[in-house]
Structures are given as structure tokens and as C-alpha cells.
Amino acid sequence: MLKRTPLFSAHQRLGGKLIEFGGWEMPVQYTSIVDEHLCVRRAAGIFDISHMGELFVSGSGAADFLNRCLTNDIRKLAIGQGQYTLLCQENGGVVDDLYAYRLDTELYLLILNASRIDVDVAWFQARLAALPELSGTTVLDPASDRFGAFAVQGPRVVEYIDRLFPGGSQGGTSVSKPSELKKNQVAAWTVSVEAVWVARTGYTGEDGFEIIAPSGLTEALWDQALEQGRSVGQQPCGLGARDTLRTEVCFPLYGHELDEVTTPIEAGLTVFVSSDKGPFTGSEVLARQKLEGTQKRLVAFRMTEKSPPPRPGYPVWAAGAPVGIAVSGTQSPSLQNGIGLAYVPPAVAEPGTVVEIEVRGRRFAAEIVRKPLYRKVVKTP
């Protein structure tokens, strides 16, 4: 039985095409992936992300505990700030990639990938049990069943977000309105006596916000955001557009770029792996890889001849030999070109390297390009 988010009936009303994703019944699209994708790049889109997991970590030991588990340095977070970070095994393989928000002095919220919630929670519980000096002062509170979430993304979201949450924040970063939040900041607004968390984060490469709300409030807030977003041409968007948007800006997706046999260094996420915060699970392997390099590297590529869209699993060839494998790939709606991400040896990883992508037994010309594949054109006033 697939799980359904608090927004399931909203998706049905909106005519969303529903598919299975990570054990959840989720909309893949409402109208068309290309339409929804371009609407986010040009104006605004709203996405159900309720399938993602929530885990609160609190107590005087919380920061130390998280710093023993996660790759980024949690001490960098002021109250009301978030950071991208990873949970690794001792061998450096990635258990999950996640966002950690510091909501209060000794209160953290972790946002987990839908398909990894149970694995992550079990992992944190086992780690905590193995650290007696922290287990009495750290509390883990898995809260995925109590929260829904949605993302509003695109350059015009900022035009209406303040109407959705009127007044000043009541937790996290102190701001007089949501649009004052800076990238990666988070703050709470009280709705029906409950805290709703609003973070200036996202997974599309556009400006935008992610809203984490108690399950019972999620649909009403979604409906209000849908209504307020009408003025800027906002459309509901499914997982299809979410995937093409994140691929264009080269954000990793667990199960594609990341898994238990791939390290953050191989995935090019070195800036999210702290070198100076003390030991954490996987720190020895990751420090050595930082120093010595790795045998595989995540690269971006674009097709340079007319070809079928590249897909995950397609072989990558260089100089007449198979050298790697694509882990993501699509026809880019913004660039109108086949694009993808692949693991290849360092010798093939330099931008400009000519490669081929094998599709159904035929090879098509491509080249390694610098990440991200798509860059926002910033308008200067």
C-alpha cells in the first residue's frame, strides 16, 4: 500500500498524474513536465514535498551528536539557519543527503529523503546508543507522520510570499516578513496556534521557499499558496519537473548521484565535508579522498549531436572504450538539449573532454561541461 501525503486529494482535484515514488503516491505532472519546468524558471511553481522526512534532534548534546554523524559542521549554524549536509557510513558511502536547520539554541530539524527515512532514523538511533556520553543529553524525535511540506519556487514567488505569512516571524531567524529571509534561513510563523516553518531553500536552482507545516494545516496552506500564486502565473508542478530542474543545476538525487557505495568527495560535494570539526562517521576515508583524489568523479555532460535524451544507466565512452555510467539524464527544457550527470575516471573528467553516450547500442557525441549545466541569467537593474 502506497503512502499518501496530506495533499493527495489536492492532487486529484488538480488532475495530477500519480505515480509511485519512494513508497509514496505522488504527482509526476499536472499538465506537462516541460510546461511546469519553464513556469518555474520564468515565474513560479508549487510542489508537494510532504513525502520527505522530518527528524527533530534536541538537547544539550544535539549539536555534538550531529557533528559526530554528519559531514558538514553544524556549529556554523546560527539560530534560524540551515545547511546541506550528508550522513555517511564509516567507509564514506552516503546513507543520505539532507538539510539540517537550527530552529533554536538546542533544537535541530533534519529533512530526509522519502526513501531513506526509516534507514536514517535507525542509523541515528544506533549511533546515539553507541555514544553513551551524548545519549542522555540528546533526544531524537522522528516526526515525518506529523508534518507535511510544500515548496514554492521561481523568481516571482517573492512577490506573494508575504501575503501567505503576514507579520513578523515567531521563531528561528527574526524577520518582519518572509521575504526578508536570506538564502538558507528559516523562521516560524504561527498558524492556528501551531508553528509553521518557512525556509528560503529549494531544489530547483531558483529563488523560493520550502514550507514545513503540521499535517492538518498543510492542505489549507497549499490552497492559499495556490490562490496567492495565481497573480504571478504559478502552476502546480510534479516530480517530473522537480527532476529536470534539479538535473539542470546538478543537484544530486539520492539513488542516482548518491548511494551507499559512493562518497561525497566522488560526488563533488567536498565543500559540504568539514575538515576541521573533529572526527565523524566516515571522516578518515573522506579526508584521505580529499587529499589523494578518487577513482570516479561526478561530471556533467551535454549531447553535441542530435540524439535520444540520455537516461540513467547509459554507458559513457571515451576514446573508443566504455569508461563510466550516466546516473541522471534528460532532455533539458531550458537548454533544449540532452544533458546528464555521470561517473567517470579523473582522466575523462575535465570540461571539454569529448565523450559518447551509448543509447540502445548506438553511440552519440557528447562533451563534459562545467557544473551547473544551467545558470540563471541574472538581470542587473
Cell triple for residue 7? 495533499
Q: Which stretch binds other proteins (CB under 8 A): 24-32, 87-95, 129-137, 278-286?
A: 24-32
Compute the distance between CA of residue 73 and CA of residue 273 in angstroms, rounded to an integer: 8
Question: Residue 70 has what DSSP assignment?
Answer: B
Secondary structure string (H, E, C) spanning 111-178:
EECHHHHHHHHHHHHHHHHCCHHHHCCCEEEECHHHEEEEEEECCCHHHCHHHHCCCCCCCECCCCCH
Q: CB of 34: closest distance to other proteins in angstroms?
A: 5
Q: CB of 360: closest distance to other proteins in angstroms?
A: 7
Considering the complex, state which of residue 282 and residue 340 has its C-beta at the smaller distance from other proteins. 340
Q: Does 330 bind other proteins (CB under 8 A)?
A: yes
Q: CB of 337: closest distance to other proteins in angstroms?
A: 10
Contact with other proteins (CB under 8 A) among 67, 144, 169, 307: 307
Considering the complex, state which of residue 68 and residue 246 has its C-beta at the smaller distance from other proteins. 246
Q: Does 328 bind other proteins (CB under 8 A)?
A: no
CB 53 within 8 A of CB 114: yes
91: nearest Cα among 344, 275, 346, 262: 262
Q: Which stretch binds other proteins (CB under 8 A): 55-63, 216-224, 264-272, 304-312?
A: 304-312
Site for other proteins in 230-249 (CB under 8 A): 240, 244
Please report, as a single letter, which amino acid is at residue 260.
E
Compute the distance between CA of residue 156 and CA of residue 345 in angstroms, rounded to an integer: 40
Q: CB of 26: closest distance to other proteins in angstroms?
A: 13
Contact with other proteins (CB under 8 A) among 23, 309, 312, 372: 309
Contact with other proteins (CB under 8 A) among 333, 334, 344, 356: 333
Question: Residue 221 has what DSSP assignment?
Answer: H
Q: CB of 239: closest distance to other proteins in angstroms?
A: 9
Question: First-to-last CA distance in the chain?
Answer: 52
Q: CB of 361: closest distance to other proteins in angstroms?
A: 12
- 281: part of which helix (H) or strand (E)? none
SS3 58: strand
Compute the distance between CA of residue 338 and CA of residue 331 in angstroms, rounded to an integer: 4
Considering the complex, state which of residue 224 and residue 331 has its C-beta at the smaller distance from other proteins. 331
> Which value, in Å, is the radius of gyration of the alpha carbons in the chain?
21
Site for other proteins in 28-87 (CB under 8 A): 28-29, 31-34
Q: Which stretch binds other proteins (CB under 8 A): 3-11, 106-114, 329-337, 366-374?
A: 329-337
Q: Which stretch binds other proteins (CB under 8 A): 44-52, 170-178, 180-188, 327-335?
A: 327-335
Binding site for other proteins (CB under 8 A): 15, 28-29, 31-34, 240, 244, 307-309, 311, 330-331, 333, 360
